[in-house]
């Protein structure tokens, strides 16, 4: 598997699947989530509502992932995953690692070959960037998956540098 880094906006990416840093309600929010729903259009939210009604009445649990259409985005699917909120020095990295593993598992089920990820949990959920980059890169490298390209789409220089440093 090839791992690539891009600085930019995940909603501009062309890939089989774009991963959304969602919340358990699946009903949208700020950051990546807001941008994906804004640009992707109402079909994504309609599928999210249907998923809540059928499978996730109590919300999508932290660390899990589920796919919908990508609406008007340049992708076939959006994979929604719920990162953990950072809880301070003794935060458990496992739920964040699980977001990457579960998103790749869903991508495999779909047959997605290229998957773009944002830096999950590093915005509203306050996970420190260097630690998040370590968890993201190490988990993706260790994953057993048929995905051929994982692309990390980093919004700013700091995030890009943290991921580049971990990849080196
Ligand atoms: N493309 C790529 N990265 C982005 C973009 C974008 N368009 N916008 C922000 N980032 P966040 P979280 C970066 O807050 O921490 C939402 O309200 C951002 O700089 O989107 O997992 C959800 O509904 C940061 O580095 O996700 C949840 O309630 C990273 O993406 C909550 O926020 C993640 O920031 C999830 O919080």
Reading the chain (168 residues) residue by residue, the pLDDT tens digits are 999 999 999 999 999 999 999 999 999 999 999 999 999 999 999 999 999 999 999 999 999 999 999 999 999 999 999 999 999 999 999 999 999 999 999 999 999 999 999 999 999 999 999 999 999 999 999 999 999 999 999 999 999 999 999 999
Which residue ranges make up each domain of the chain?
2-167
Enter the ipTM.
0.99
Taking only Cα atoms into account, the Rg of the chain, rounded to an integer number of angstroms, comes to: 14
Residue 159 alpha carbon, nearest atom of ligand 1: 25
Alpha helices in 23-128 (DSSP H): 31-40, 42-54, 94-110
- CATH 3.40.50.300 given to domain 2-167: no
Kindly give the number of the ligand 1 atom that is closest to the alpha carbon of 21.
21
33 is catalytic: yes
120 Cβ closer than 6 Å to some ligand 1 atom:
yes
CB of 59 closer than 6 A to ligand 1?
no
């Amino acid at each position: 598997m090839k791992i690539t880094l891009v600085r930019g906006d995940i909603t501009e990416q062309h890939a089989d699947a774009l991963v959304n840093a969602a919340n358990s309600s699946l009903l949208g929010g700020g950051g990546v989530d807001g941008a994906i729903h804004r640009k992707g259009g109402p079909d994504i939210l309609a599928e999210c509502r249907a998923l809540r009604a059928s499978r996730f009445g109590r919300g999508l649990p932290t660390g899990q992932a589920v796919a919908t259409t990508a609406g008007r985005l340049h992708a076939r699917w959006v994979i929604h995953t719920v990162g953990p909120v950072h809880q301070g020095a003794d935060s458990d990295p496992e739920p964040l690692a699980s977001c990457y593993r579960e998103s790749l598992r869903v991508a495999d089920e779909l047959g997605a070959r290229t998957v773009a990820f944002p830096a999950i949990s590093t915005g509203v959920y306050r996970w420190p960037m260097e630690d998040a980059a370590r968890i993201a890169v190490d988990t993706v490298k260790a994953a057993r998956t048929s995905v051929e390209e994982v692309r990390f789409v980093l919004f700013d220089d700091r995030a890009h540098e943290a991921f580049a440093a971990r990849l080196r």
